């Protein structure tokens, strides 16, 4: 009797196959790695008032390699882990034509300034009080670091604490390119 | 110019004038767009429902863009441009995302066809198989006839 319906015998394993494939795909992908549609596109322009009373504008930096780092003082431990690496990177690259900008998001002025003093950051740092720049850069959380080439295009986005190694690799590649 | 055209024109001018004025954007208009956007710092919450600071800022950005004269589609397109299609809670009904909309119905249809097919096979076999297996012989037939006749007499 049952042999007359071979279709049914295979139906259940066949139905399970796509589910297993989907699960296999789902467990292999990192849900935190959301691809940014901004890679290769022109970096959104911004002008912000820095903590030390100055102004920083991306458009004025065309022709230079720019690293934009989004951070917050409450972002522990990742922002605290990467801060020394950022300070070292600034010392290494500030005289080689690289500009670094820190953008402080969803923070209060006092703890943010304390953070900057704690790590001795001397590159421009500015708050983004309305979150406009964060959304323009498709920021999900902190820290996120964007590497912008001389032509003003976003080339890489790094989610999580940036290391000396990653910073060096990205920036050296961009420095070799001619604007 | 007829009176009707004049009335229509007046209405049109007044209407566009009202729409063009920097009228405050209604909360509902903002909410409608926010409800379709995924809150980027939450899990499974829309920008409309999330109490987070980020979602609040995003709602303000929606309000500003609407106030600047953008259509709801343009506002959504801005967020898609920055975050990708991921930001939309409902994937668009085109391209690869169309699969998400079509596959469940296709599966349902396939299942129904399969069930119909199987049920038809079963019912056909139930109808035909026993008859083929035991044909009524002449002796039994006569007995049935006799007993029916007896029942009629009683």
Facing residue for B83 by CB, picked from A131, A138, A141: A138
How many inter-chain contacts (A to B, CB under 8 Å) are there? 48
Q: Which of A37, A135, A141 is facing B84, going by the closest CB pair?
A: A37
The full DSSP string for chain B is --HHHHHHHHHHHHHHHHHHS-PPPPHHHHHHHHTTBB-TTSSS-BTTT--SHHHHHHHHHHHHHHHTT--HHHHHHHHHHHH-GGGBSS--SSGGGHHHHHHHHHHHHHHHHHHHHHHHHHHHHHHHHHHHH-PPPHHHHHHHHHHHHHHHH-
All residues of chain B having their beta carbon less than 8 Å from the beta carbon of residue A34 are 83-84, 86
- Among A29-33, A169-173, B86-90, where is mean pLDDT lowest? A29-33
Sign of the Cα pseudo-torsion (B9, B12, B17, B18, in order) = positive
Residue with token string 């080339």: A155
pLDDT score recorded for residue A49: 97
pLDDT in tens, A16-36: 898 899 899 888 877 666 678
Chain A neighbors of B61, CB-CB under 8 A = 130-132, 135
Domains of chain B: 22-90 (1.10.8.640), 97-153 (no CATH)
Is the confidence at residue B1, as pLDDT, over 90?
Answer: no
The alpha carbons of chain B give a radius of gyration, in whole angstroms, of: 35
Whether residues A106 and B53 touch (CB distance < 8 A) is answered with: yes
Confidence of residue B132 (pLDDT cuts 50, 70, 90): low
pLDDT of residue B110: 94
> For residue A108, which phi and psi values (nearest 5 degrees)?
-110, 150
Q: Which domains does chain A have, with CATH numbers?
A: 47-176 (3.40.30.10)
Cβ–Cβ contact B33 with A under 8 A = no
B58 touches chain A (CB under 8 A): yes
In this predicted complex, what is the ipTM?
A: 0.83
**Whole-prediction pTM:** 0.74
* Residue B125: per-residue pLDDT: 78
Tell me, rounded to whole angstroms, the distance of Cα A171 from its chain centroid.
14
For residue B58, list chain A residues with Cβ-Cβ distance below 8 A. Answer: 131, 135
Task: Return contacts of B53-59, CB within 8 angstroms, 24+ apart.
Answer: B53/A106, B53/A131, B54/A106, B54/A131, B54/A134, B57/A106, B57/A130, B57/A131, B57/A132, B57/A134, B57/A135, B58/A131, B58/A135, B58/B34, B59/B30, B59/B34
Question: Which residue in the set A35, A135, A141 is minimally distant from B82, CB to CB?
Answer: A135
Using the structure block, give the residue that is written with the tokens 């500030």. Answer: A94
**For residues B23 and B34, is the Cβ–Cβ distance under 8 A?**
no
Averaged over A48-72, what is the pLDDT?
Answer: 96
pLDDT value at residue A91: 96
**Does the CA dihedral B90-B93-B99-B105 come out positive or negative?**
positive
Asked whether B73 and B80 are in contact (CB, 8 A), the reply is no
Which residues 71-100 of A are in CB contact (within 8 Å) with B? Answer: none
Please judge whether A8 and B53 are an interchain contact, meaning their C-beta atoms are less than 8 angstroms apart. no
User: CB contact, 8 Å: B41 with chain A?
Assistant: yes
Report pLDDT for B15: 46
The alpha carbon of A74 is separated from its chain's Cα centroid by a whole number of angstroms, namely: 17
Q: Is A37 on the interface with B (CB under 8 A)?
A: yes
């Amino acid at each position: 009797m049952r042999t007359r319906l071979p279709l049914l015998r295979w139906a259940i394993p066949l139905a399970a196959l796509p589910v297993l494939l989907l699960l296999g795909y789902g467990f292999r992908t990192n849900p935190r790695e959301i691809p940014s549609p901004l890679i290769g596109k022109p970096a959104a322009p911004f002008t912000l008032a820095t903590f030390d009373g100055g102004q920083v504008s991306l458009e004025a930096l065309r022709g230079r390699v720019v690293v934009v780092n989004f951070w917050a003082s409450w972002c522990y431990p990742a922002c605290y882990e990467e801060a020394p690496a950022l300070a070292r990177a600034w010392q290494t690259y500030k005289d080689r034509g690289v500009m670094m900008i820190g953008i402080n998001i969803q923070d209060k002025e006092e703890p943010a300034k304390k953070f900057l003093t704690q790590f001795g950051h001397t590159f421009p740092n500015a708050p983004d009080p309305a979150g406009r720049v964060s959304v323009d850069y498709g920021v999900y959380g902190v820290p996120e670091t964007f590497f912008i080439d001389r032509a003003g295009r976003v080339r890489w986005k790094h989610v999580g604490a940036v290391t000396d190694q990653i910073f060096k690799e990205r920036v050296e590649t961009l420095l070799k390119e001619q604007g | 110019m007829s009176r009707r055209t004049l009335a229509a024109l007046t209405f049109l001018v007044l209407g566009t004038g009202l729409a063009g004025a920097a009228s405050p954007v209604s909360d509902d208009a903002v909410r409608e767009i926010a409800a379709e956007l995924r809150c980027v710092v939450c899990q499974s919450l829309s920008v409309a429902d999330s109490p987070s600071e980020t979602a609040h800022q995003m709602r303000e950005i929606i309000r500003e863009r609407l106030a600047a004269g953008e259509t709801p589609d343009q506002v959504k397109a801005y967020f898609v441009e920055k975050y990708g299609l991921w930001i939309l809670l409902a994937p668009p009904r085109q391209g690869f995302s169309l699969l998400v909309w079509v596959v469940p119905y296709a599966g349902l249809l396939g299942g129904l066809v399969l069930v119909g097919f199987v049920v038809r096979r079963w019912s056909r076999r139930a109808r035909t198989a026993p008859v083929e297996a035991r044909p009524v012989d002449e002796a039994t037939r006569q007995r049935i006839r006799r007993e029916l006749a007896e029942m009629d007499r009683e």
